[in-house]
Amino acid sequence: MRIKLIRILFLGFLGMITISGCSKSSKSVSNGSHPKDLFRIDVGSEAPSLDPTLAEDNSSTRIMYDLFAGLVDFDQSNKIIPGMASSWDISPDAKTYTFHLRPNLKFSDGSPITANNFVYSWRRLIDPKVASPYNFLLSRLVNAREIMDGKQNPDNLGVYAPDSLTLVAKLNQPDDAFLNEIAMPNTMVVSQKNIEKFGSAWTKPQNMITSGAYKLKEHVVNGYILAEKNPNFWDAANVSIKEVKYLPYDDKNASIPAYRSGGLDMTFQSVPADQFSQLRKDYPEELHLFRQEAIYYYDFSWNNPELAKNAKLRQALSMAIDRKVLTNDVLKMGQVPLYSTATDTVEGGKYKGLDYEWGSWSRDKQIAEAKKLYAEAGYSATNPYTVSISYNTNDLHKKTALAVAAMWKSVLGVNVNLQNQEWKTFIQTRHKGGYQIARDGWIADYNSVTSYTNLYECKNDQNNSHYCNSKYDKLIEQAKADTNQDHKVDFYREALRIPLNDYAVIPLFQYTIQVLVKPYVTGFDSNTNSLYHVQSKWMSLK
């Protein structure tokens, strides 16, 4: 009975500290007056970068998928298809890929795209002076690690062009995910001439040369980005929409009135938690809801001595969070409780069963163990732990932080401060480890467990907790090098248990996508796109 009382007290406390959602507004009526050549979409925030080499967030990459193109592409089932390369060959040892480019490829200014442009783009991605947070995508290429560590020149990267229409990539060892990795926008082709001429200003509308279906037309910082169809794109004949307007709604509560009134054609990948139920009633055919290949978690800063040295404290904080209450009673948007360092859906469920054993315990037992660990960690009612949770502006993140703070207070007596930051500032703070506990999330870039394993590698730029365990890194290397698929899975499973048992982070839930799409937008298929990589060239406006 005690657990029911705690649950009631928690929900009551949360109800006092949360802010209610916006009042209901009338449903929009489609009267056929929408623009026929302009696609207006919410990208969630001002894009921190329009340089595909440096892009690392969902807002930036959504735009990059429209502005740039790569050797390979993907369809709405997340399957690799030909892109600028019409075909490719893989050597018997799976360590050499030979790509055959389409003839007469052009940048948006009409200049030719050749295999050497890809050589330049990939060398730039791996160059430590550029400091791309996604340089790991090419880390399997010959000499890549040595270049990233500053021990070799980027010119020595294992990629070359024997002629203008052929690109050869040489890997140190087989990489099952390689084609998926080079479908990411960071590996897409950019103009060397353009970048060398304008330097960091090359991404301004008056300077930018693109390679994708669209080219940059206007950019009003914190206002909008406008792109127009690129007539020189190799597949321009199949691009229907003439212009795309990207609107950075940091506040999801502001994007919904825009959608209702007809000012938005497609929202970002989540709607305000407080409005979800009403939106589902108002737009049963327009609200797409599906489970996403993505995880939501909290980082412990391993730069913080108090957290880094106290495993019992980290475990107590993780166990004190009732993930079922969080997902079912607080967020209520279909999220699935998470007790592991990877999802149980990636690669068709190969990594099921890695969950914390205590995830299946009764809530009473979880609480008792969390309190015991908290005490053993050196804290009590008279000596409570005080911690800050950092998160970026977003209704979901705020609601989650308030819920976690309430749980830590009610179960352990922890004092929690909430620190909200604008997105650009927050990602820099998180990268530098300048926090105690920070909101984090990871959307799998491709349907491979290696999209998650990167998060816990010692020197990986996406490891925002700055956690490091050499045993983990060694097992990951063994998994990548092994050609036996069953052995690979075993190595990866063993590796993923290490950050799990070290309590490197706090896994919270698996994301869902909740996106509103106007009925006159055709060509969008949410049924199979669990990675939620979206391109405007797929769509048209009726």
Given 165, 181, 198, the domain boundary residue is 198
| In a shared domain, residues 296 and 251 | no
Domain of residue 489, CATH code: 3.10.105.10
| In a shared domain, residues 160 and 95 | yes
The parent domain of residue 109 ranges over: 68-198
SS3 letters across 22-83: CCCCCCCCCCCCCCCCEEEEECCCCCCCCCCCCCCCHHHHHHHHHHCCCCEEECCCCCEEEC
C-alpha distances out from residue 330 to 11, 123, 255, 289, 416, Å: 8, 46, 21, 17, 18
pLDDT of residue 26: 39
Per the domain annotation, does 307 fall within a domain?
yes
Domain of residue 223, CATH code: 3.40.190.10
Per the domain annotation, does 284 fall within a domain?
yes
| In a shared domain, residues 142 and 270 | no
| In a shared domain, residues 277 and 321 | no
Of 511, 493, 497, nearest in space to 439 by CA: 511
What are 213-228's pLDDT values in tens digits?
999 999 999 999 999 9
| In a shared domain, residues 273 and 363 | no
Per the domain annotation, does 28 fall within a domain?
no
Per the domain annotation, does 7 fall within a domain?
no
pLDDT of residue 34: 86
CB 285 within 8 A of CB 518: no
Per the domain annotation, does 432 fall within a domain?
yes
| In a shared domain, residues 316 and 464 | yes
| In a shared domain, residues 472 and 363 | yes
Work out the angle at residue 116's Cα, subtended by the Cα atoms of residues 113 and 117, and round it to the nearest 5 degrees.
Answer: 50
pLDDT of residue 17: 39
Spell out where 431-488 has E strands: 437-443
Given 151, 180, 198, the domain boundary residue is 198
| In a shared domain, residues 459 and 523 | no
| In a shared domain, residues 409 and 519 | no
| In a shared domain, residues 344 and 432 | yes
Domain of residue 178, CATH code: 3.90.76.10
pLDDT of residue 33: 75
- DSSP result, 75-125: -TTS-EEESSEEEEEE-TTS-EEEEEEPTT-B-TTS-B--HHHHHHHHHHH
pLDDT of residue 252: 83
pLDDT of residue 485: 85
Per the domain annotation, does 27 fall within a domain?
no
d(CA 137, CA 68): 17
| Strand pairing class (505-516; 336-337) | antiparallel
Given 198, 214, 242, the domain boundary residue is 198
| In a shared domain, residues 398 and 300 | yes
Per the domain annotation, does 29 fall within a domain?
no
Which residues, given as ranges, of the chain have pLDDT below 50? 1-13, 15-31
Per the domain annotation, does 314 fall within a domain?
yes
C-alpha distances out from residue 191 to 124, 281, 316, 389, 471, Å: 11, 48, 51, 41, 40
pLDDT of residue 21: 35
Q: How many domains does the chain have?
A: 3
| In a shared domain, residues 184 and 253 | no
